[in-house]
Amino acid sequence: MPLYVTRASLPPLEEYVREISCMWESHWLTNMGQKHEKLREELECYLGVNRCVLFGNGHSALEATLLAMGLEGEVITTPYTFSSTTHAIVRAGLVPIMCDVKREDGTLDPACIEPLITSRTCAILPVHVYGNVCDVDAIAQIAQRHGLRIVYDAAHAFGVRVNDVPVVTYGDASILSFHATKVFNSVEGGAVCVNNDEALCSKLELLRNFGIVDEDEVAEVGFNAKMSEFHASMGLCNLRHHSHNVELRRSALSRYRDRLCGVRGLRFVSGVDNVCANGFSFTSNAAYCAVAVSEEFGMDRDALRSVLASNGIFARRYFYPCTNDYACYKGMFDPCATPVARQLSKQVLCLPLFAGMTIQEVDYVCDVVLGACDEL
Ligand code: T4K
């Protein structure tokens, strides 16, 4: 069996069938039905956040948030991310200003933010990449000093806590993704977590449903980004198994670390508990197993990726290329202006990691990695 970078978590089939069966009576399939509302309530409780506005996917949640805030001008952000982050900024009519990241964990480097601030800057959009927590305190101080909004792309950070506080409570809003490949999934899905801004939540609710207030009034130029009852049902089922799934992921990740820590030229970029590059304690969700491969390993990242692939292991280069190197943004950015991000994008490989990955499967991947550098 091939080993992919991840494998979507599914509840027992009977559990999902039980969850959706009432829809054969109600015929209510979408547009904020009972399952949607139940999932929203359960997520608010589970994530420890005041308000959670559900979306059809993480990307539309991010784009809608930027639009709902009525931002104009420049947004300081990271190029070391999935396409969605940068695309959301551009599609919302804003200008991304690329800021470099920290070598240790790939999150935005606060020391690089302030020199990029101009009179046009309106917001900072950092990413908790791999579930690694950004330097939330330093970013908050910078934003406060300059009167900027903060929107966290927390697509990878479902359930992560920092200093025992839910990470999604930082900033003005945090966006989650519930895509099939994520730690928690509703097949497709996403949410905006908001702590103290009821007006923002109301606007988000309008935007995701064409701006419709009621049968008489359409107040916003919205779009369709609603979560269906089938997706919400999958979310409800998966949420029941989430803590257990994270435990399974953490034990697989810890086996990887036991086997691969200390290998010359190999460095873990995914954080573990209490080892946060920013000095605060955090509870990891073991979202990814990201390792940086440097020269001393004996072969580069792409060669290791090929060796793994020829052994049926399909590791992924999250995130290569950096978004400021995309063909669609040609001429807009200088990718050399973010050298750390660029280097990480050439070095990092995400090894297979999913709930239910057996120790034998982890060992198989490790054996191939160690064999590649003659350390087996
Ligand atoms: N911000 C950040 C930082 C993000 O990483 C993402 C999404 C977003 C925002 C936007 O959130 P969404 O709008 O997607 O909710 C995947 C995901 O599609 C994407 O959600 C994710 N980031 C990105 C990091 O990874 P691909 O192109 O790598 O996916 P794909 O189809 O190659 O799948 C990877 C592996 O996952 C497969 O080899 C096997 C496994 N898989 C995949 C699917 C689709 C499954 O086991 N089941 C499945 O249904 O982008």
Q: What is the pLDDT of residues 20-59, one digit of tens each?
A: 999 999 999 999 999 999 999 999 999 999 999 999 999 9
Q: Which atom of ligand 1 is nearest to the CA of 88?
A: 9
Residue 280 has pLDDT above 90, yes or no: no
Which ranges of 147-225 does DSSP label H, i.e. alpha helix?
A: 198-207
Average pLDDT over residues 313-321: 98
Predicted pLDDT of residue 353 = 98
> CA-CA distances (angstroms) from residue 76 to 83, 201, 342, 351?
15, 23, 17, 29
pLDDT, the chain, mean? 96
* 172-188 pLDDT per residue, tens: 999 999 999 999 999 99
> CA-CA distances (angstroms) from residue 36 to 43, 50, 174, 230, 322?
11, 17, 19, 9, 35
* 84-133 pLDDT per residue, tens: 999 999 999 999 999 999 999 999 999 999 999 999 999 999 999 999 99
Cα(51) to ligand 1 centroid in Å equals: 25
Residue nearest to atom 17 of ligand 1 (CA): 181
Q: Residue 348 belongs to what H/E stretch?
A: strand 348-351
Predicted pLDDT of residue 196 = 87
Cα(179) to ligand 1 centroid in Å equals: 6
Q: Is residue 179 in contact with ligand 1, taking CB distance under 6 Å?
A: yes
In whole angstroms, give the CA distance from residue 29 to residue 231.
10
Q: Is residue 343 in contact with ligand 1, taking CB distance under 6 Å?
A: no
Q: Is residue 38 in contact with ligand 1, taking CB distance under 6 Å?
A: no
Q: Which of 78, 101, 179 to mutate to test the pocket of ligand 1 (most atoms within 8 A of CB)?
A: 179
Q: Which atom of ligand 1 is nearest to the CA of 129?
A: 3
User: Lowest mean pLDDT: which of 151-155, 160-164, 255-259?
Assistant: 160-164
Residue nearest to atom 25 of ligand 1 (CA): 181
What's at 164, amino acid-wise? D
Predicted pLDDT of residue 275 = 59
* 175-233 pLDDT per residue, tens: 999 999 999 999 999 999 999 899 999 999 999 999 999 999 999 999 999 999 999 99
pLDDT band of 274, cuts 50, 70, 90: low
In whole angstroms, give the CA distance from residue 121 to residue 123.
6
Q: Which atom of ligand 1 is nearest to the CA of 81?
A: 3
* 255-271 pLDDT per residue, tens: 999 999 999 999 999 77
CA 101, 86, 229: angle at the middle one, nearest 5? 115
Residue 3 has pLDDT above 70, yes or no: yes
Residue nearest to atom 46 of ligand 1 (CA): 7
Residue 278 has pLDDT above 70, yes or no: no
Residue nearest to atom 42 of ligand 1 (CA): 181
Q: Is residue 127 in contact with ligand 1, taking CB distance under 6 Å?
A: yes
Residue 276 has pLDDT above 90, yes or no: no
pLDDT above 90 covers a percentage of the chain that reads: 94
Of the candidates 158, 126, 184, the residue with the CA atom closest to the CA atom of residue 6: 184
Length of the chain: 376
Cβ count within 10 A of residue 29: 12
